[in-house]
Amino acid sequence: MATQLKNLSDFSDTTVPSAAPYHFGIVVAEWNSAITNSLYQGAYESLLEHGALIDNIYTYSVPGSFELTSGADILLKNSKLDAVICLGCVIQGETRHFDFICNAVANGLTNVALKYSKPVIFGVLTTDNQRQAADRSGGKHGNKGVEAAITAIKMAFFAETLNG
């Protein structure tokens, strides 16, 4: 596996713009909370590390990953956010539920982003087991929350650059 020994959250080879001028929403799924809380901490701390103002970060929780789509939609309908970071974790079980949820969330978040022409960041772990989720939420493979925050900053900057 290509990621076996790699920290996926290493951004040392890229430039990250200042997050100071932007407003961010973070929507966090409560399901698999040990994992999603770690994702949230990574995202929140990364935003602050890159200059985001505490008063410009709005955090909300939803019951599960499926609800991230409606959470992002409600946030963008009722606010002036520059980007929304959606954090969740879906772990493969014995049924096809995993496939349906993962596909619905990915498609739903894409549709919300297109509807509002705003970055909606997919910070959802879709893993085979609990160990993989832990490895990607602050473990040996980094923290997907950090990756989502960096993506949100870069996309907010990208949108501002094009929209003036």
* Tokens representing residue 76 in the block: 């963008």
Question: CB of 17 within 8 A of CB of 153?
Answer: yes
Joined tokens for residue 108: 């739903």
DSSP annotation of 119 reads: -
97 given a catalytic annotation: yes
- To 5 degrees, how large is the angle CA 13–CA 110–CA 127? 65
The active-site residue, picked from 23, 50, 97, 141, is 97
Taking the CA atoms of residue 78, residue 84, residue 85 and residue 87 in that order, the dihedral angle to the nearest 10 degrees is 30
Active site amino acids: 97
